[in-house]
């Protein structure tokens, strides 16, 4: 189901994807797509695709989370992140079987190592494919995690989703995601 929906979305959104890619390239030097290693199902690594929103392309042992007013953002980057348009290339990851439309959002490997060492339940997130959107995100646990409690809350939402996963719940999350990405409602930066 995810693969069919992702394929259809990629076809329907092709003009928008091409326009965003062009705008990213015109906005600042560098590739249109950002790739970063993430952890997927059963702890397997994969390269996630996103539209590039920053001047840097971190993918190492230390990756700084984006924060409000981040100087690394490109001029276009803030808009792409606040509308979640930067996430659309992840439909390719869904086609490749690395991600699902709905599931726990994958974090950079550096964050997986950090939070995995601090939160014993953290690795439970890898029991399912990571998602473009998830239960945590539609419940307000999106964006930075400056306090350990912020990540703990996100993990609790992710584990609840894994235990209660259903087609109906996925549809509810997808509908709620559409509402959360409207301008002014997102806490992504």
Residues 137 and 188: their CA atoms lie apart, in Å, by 10
Q: What is the pLDDT of residue 97?
A: 96
For residue 44, give the 3-state DSSP assignment. coil
Spell out the residues 6+ positions from residue 84 whose beta carbon is closer than 8 angstroms to its own: 177, 181, 186, 188
SS3 149: helix
- DSSP one-letter code for 108: B
Domain boundaries, the chain: 2-180
| pLDDT value at residue 102 | 98
pLDDT at position 57: 64
pLDDT of residue 65: 65
Question: pLDDT tens string for the chain (189 positions)?
Answer: 999 999 999 999 999 999 999 999 999 999 999 999 999 999 999 999 999 988 766 655 656 666 666 677 888 988 898 888 999 999 999 999 999 999 999 998 888 999 999 999 999 999 999 999 999 999 988 877 888 999 999 999 999 999 999 999 999 999 999 887 765 545 554
Q: What is the pLDDT of residue 78?
A: 85
> What distance in Å separates the CA atoms of residue 153 and residue 100, rounded to the nearest whole number?
21
The length of the chain is 189
**Which residues, at least 6 apart from 1, have a Cβ–Cβ distance to it below 8 Å?**
167
pLDDT for residue 26: 95
Contacts 24+ apart (CB under 8 A), 32-35: 33/89, 35/59
For residue 126, give the DSSP letter. Answer: G
Kindly write down the DSSP assignment for every residue of 109-172, as one continuous string: HHHHHHHHHH-TTGGGGGGS--EEE-HHHHTT--S---SHHHHHHHHHHHHHHHHH--HHHHHH
Give CA–CA dist 111/90, Å, rounded. Answer: 19
């Amino acid at each position: 189901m995810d693969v069919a929906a992702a394929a259809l979305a990629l076809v329907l959104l092709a003009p928008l994807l091409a326009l965003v890619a062009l705008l990213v390239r015109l906005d600042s030097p560098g590739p249109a797509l950002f790739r970063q290693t993430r952890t997927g199902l059963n702890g397997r690594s994969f390269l996630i695709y996103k539209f590039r929103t920053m001047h840097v392309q971190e993918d190492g042992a230390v990756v700084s989370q984006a924060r409000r007013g981040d100087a690394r953002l490109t001029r276009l980057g803030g808009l792409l992140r606040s509308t979640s348009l930067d996430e659309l290339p992840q439909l390719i990851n869904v086609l490749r079987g690395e991600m699902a439309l709905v599931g726990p959002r994958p974090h950079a490997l550096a964050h997986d190592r950090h939070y995995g060492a601090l939160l014993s339940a953290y690795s439970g997130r890898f029991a399912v494919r990571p998602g473009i959107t998830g239960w945590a995100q539609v419940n307000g646990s999106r964006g930075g995690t400056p306090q350990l409690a912020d990540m703990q809350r996100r993990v609790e939402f992710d584990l609840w989703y894994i235990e209660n996963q259903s087609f109906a719940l996925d549809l509810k999350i997808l509908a709620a995601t559409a509402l959360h990405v409207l301008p002014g409602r997102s806490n992504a930066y």
